[in-house]
Amino acid sequence: MAHKLTDAEWDELVDLIAASPTERMDEALKRMSVAPPSSNQPPWQPRSTEEWLVLLASISPGPAFDRALLTELRRLSLH
């Protein structure tokens, strides 16, 4: 079981989300084999950090997900 992110890691994750274009976020989720929940509603594209956090919490609010997303965004931000 993954441990929760530290405050510094959480701050870094939020900063990476804020700095990431939609394409990078999509790629990170794809690398994690995660897709946003499907519905009958039109596709919703998050436009702010807060909207991304709400969407990500609806996918998986667990610490393992948070750590995996942080890892992928770190990798993608280096490229």
Is the pLDDT reported for residue 2 higher than 90? no
Report the domain count for the chain. 1
- Listed in order, strand segments (DSSP E) in the chain are none
Determine, yes or no, domain membership for 42: no
Determine, yes or no, domain membership for 40: no
Determine, yes or no, domain membership for 41: no
pLDDT digits (tens, 9 = 90+) for 10-65: 999 999 999 999 889 888 888 888 765 555 455 567 778 888 888 888 777 688 88
> What is the per-residue burial (b if ≥16 Cβ within 10 Å, else e) of 13-52?
beebbeebeeebbebbbeeeeeeeeeeeeeeeebeeeeeb
Global pTM reads 0.76
Residue 10 has what pLDDT? 92
Determine, yes or no, domain membership for 39: no
| Domain enclosing residue 27, as ranges | 7-33+47-78
How large is the average pLDDT for residues 72-78?
A: 91
Determine, yes or no, domain membership for 17: yes
Residue 36 has what pLDDT? 56
Q: Could you tell me which residues come within 8 angstroms of residue 18 by beta carbon, excluding any fewer than 6 positions away?
A: 49
